[in-house]
Amino acid sequence: MEHKHIYDAQGKQLCCTQTEKIYNQAGAQRLIQGAPAQDQAHSHSDDDGHDHSVAEGSTLKLFLPAIISFVLLIVAIAMDNWVPQGWFRGWIRIIWYVLAYIPVGFPVIKDALKSIGKGEIFSEFLLMSIATIGAFAIKEYPEGVAVMLFYAVGEVFQTLAVSRAKSNIKALLDQRPDEVTIVEANSSRVIKAEAAAIGDVIQLKPGEKLGLDGELISDTASFNTAALTGESKPDTKAKGEVVLAGMINMNTVSLVKVTTAYQDSKLSKILELVQNATSQKAPTELFIRKFAKIYTPIVVLLAIAICLLPYFFVGQYVFSDWLYRALVFLVISCPCALVISIPLGYFGGIGAASRNGILFKGSNFLDAMAAIQNVVMDKTGTMTEGVFKVQEVRLEPDFDQATILKLVNKIESHSSHPVATAIREYAGEVDESVNLTEVEEIPGHGLKGSVDGKVFLVGNFKLLSKFNISYTIDPNTIVYTTIAIALDSRFVGYITIADSIKEDSAQTIQLLHKLGVKATMLSGDKSTVVAYVAKELGIDKAYGDLLPEDKVNKVKEIKAMGESVAFVGDGVNDAPVVALSDVGIAMGGLGSDATIETADVVIQDDKPSKIPIAINIGKQTKKVVYQNIGLAFVVKGVVLILGAGGLATMWEAVFADVGVSLIAILNAIRIQKMKF
């Protein structure tokens, strides 16, 4: 039976120090865990690119070599110590222990020779092979078999741990169906999802998953979006609304018009992001990788020194005693606990986050989130709904409200800001006959146009001041967002618009404070509105009436105080602030391709309460990683010293290697089970 390790798509076996490669693709297309491709008992990557987990019922086959070895070893130990007999000695005894060794030892020796042939001399396989063959050479047969047996068990647990860690990502990969039903001229046909063209109409039955992004043609439909957002509550869509690949139709047969090519769907972009998530290594991972390359050859040289150097300094030098110490030293020194459990810990963190609808672009951002001291956030669309409604229209007496509203509606139609939508909902459809020309946007201020040769301004009161237009009111006395209007250098009046606070915004700030993280709000909205929202939510500091460059300066001021900063916004308009912050967080990643491209962390729905969850996942991941590092270094360090001094046997060495590895792996798996 083959010893089970980690293999690539061609069946090429990877050593422990190479295993981190499996995390670089986040369980996707090319690297897999289990046995080579021809071994059907274990996972492999098909030519179609789908990843398959360890097959059901294959766990026993994974453990079978170890079980055979264990049974033979127990029988041999019983014959040596407990069962009175006269035949279990000499060559029979040796052959029995060799037979116990072969199921778990032969594959490792073969892997060691392969690694040497490829120039990778100092692998874990070589360490284990030398240690166990050396144990046989000095007639410590039970210990030689036991070391390799426990090592084999540890490798199986590593395979199962990686499979479990990949389950969250695999759940995402499974959300995209291979086929869709296309409706044409009152008939339907099933085609490959990637063959569907923009404009095709997909028929979606209850329980079916949508394969491409599109627009709902049916009057209404409810969708399960849990795989995309981590939100279990159904999302009801109306005719004309956007629906995304991966959503599951819940009630009635629905029709969806395809608006995006298969490879350009939001889900495709998310999957690509997740698959490449761990290509950006955390500093801890980079350190361990470099450490293992230097550490392993050093311990081999030290083991040789432990074996040979005492000859020149010890009066009664016994080669077999010092060789035993060197072999113990080699077993202890295997760096598996570090090179497996640390990437597994970060991978588990990324998986736990994706299960909660949070996408990290790299394990380095898990570390960065864990260190965040101040979350700086935008107001509109982040802590508020971003859905404005007109509250009041107040104009000077000599202006006709209907005429002004038509002008405002027409100029706002050139903007994508939520304010424009609120104006249109209040004033009705845009009157295209309105003579408005030369419209331009003045960043951070508003819009400027021309009406019959007269300058028409719609924006904040800073816009009016910029054009030296006086007004008779004090903007600071108005709580709501205010749209100031001017025509031909005269103040016309203003429109107030209100935006509601998200239901979980207050909870978000409370959770941030529990984590010891400050909250700061930066907004281009008027100061009175920002101050009102900040007071309602309990935000530490809030600043309004800010231009994009003002936001940058504020973040610079915070960072100058030595605080690490995460900025939460739309990831597009606030690109300079996102670039300046330690971590850029985009809200509502499913609604914008650009947010997925620009942010370091993407929250797939619009819930700000995911921000403290992301920070907590980062903190817990880093905590587990450092626990594993501390455990491995302390235990291995103590037992290495004892082994070199002849005070530790192979059994202590097995615990220091395999035992610590298993404890570290189980500790790393805890992240996936945590509830955030």
The model's pLDDT over 475-521, given as tens digits with 9 standing for 90+, comes to 888 888 889 999 999 999 999 988 888 999 999 999 999 999 999 99
- Choice among 99-108, 137-146, 619-628 with the minimum mean pLDDT: 137-146
Report whether pLDDT(470) > 50: yes
Report whether pLDDT(564) > 80: yes
- At 285 the pLDDT is 66
- Choice among 246-250, 401-405, 531-535, 619-623 with the minimum mean pLDDT: 246-250
Q: What residue segments make up the domains of the chain, in order of their start? A: 6-172+276-349+619-673, 179-210+212-264, 350-383+502-615, 385-500
The two beta strands, 565-569 and 446-451, are: unpaired
Question: Is the pLDDT higher at 541 or at 126?
Answer: 541
Quickly list H helices, 276-387.
283-308, 319-333, 336-355, 363-370
CA 659 to chain CA centroid, nearest Å: 29
Cα–Cα dist 470/486, whole Å: 10
Cα–Cα dist 192/88, whole Å: 65
Class of domain 350-383+502-615 as given by CATH: alpha beta
Residue 358 φ then ψ, to 5°:
-125, 125
Region 87-116 average pLDDT: 92
Q: What is the DSSP secondary structure assignment for residue 414, as one 8-state letter?
A: T
Report whether pLDDT(152) > 80: yes
Cα–Cα dist 181/140, whole Å: 66
Question: Is the pLDDT higher at 571 or at 29?
Answer: 571
> Does the predicted model carry a pTM greater than 0.85?
no
Q: Does domain 385-500 have CATH number 1.10.10.10?
A: no
- Choice among 56-60, 108-112, 202-206 with the minimum mean pLDDT: 56-60
Contact 46, 65 (CB under 8 A): no
Q: Active-site residues: which are they?
A: 378
Q: Which two tokens stand for residue 226?
A: 């849990």
- At 2 the pLDDT is 37
Q: How confident is the model at residue 43 (pLDDT cuts 50, 70, 90)?
A: very low
> Can 179-210+212-264 and 350-383+502-615 be said to share one CATH topology?
no
Per-residue pLDDT tens for 193-207?
A: 889 999 999 999 888
Cα–Cα dist 72/103, whole Å: 10
- At 429 the pLDDT is 87
* Integer angstrom CA distances of residue 475 from 181, 408, 494, 546: 56, 19, 10, 15
Highest mean pLDDT among 304-308, 512-516, 531-535, 586-590: 512-516
The two beta strands, 374-377 and 481-487, are: unpaired
What architecture (CATH level 2) is domain 179-210+212-264?
Distorted Sandwich (2.70)
What is the gyration radius of the CA atoms in the chain, in angstroms?
33
Cα–Cα dist 361/258, whole Å: 28
Region 289-297 average pLDDT: 74
Contact 167, 227 (CB under 8 A): no
Contact 584, 567 (CB under 8 A): yes
Question: Is the pLDDT higher at 194 or at 588?
Answer: 194
Question: Is the pLDDT higher at 190 or at 283?
Answer: 190
Cα–Cα dist 219/204, whole Å: 14
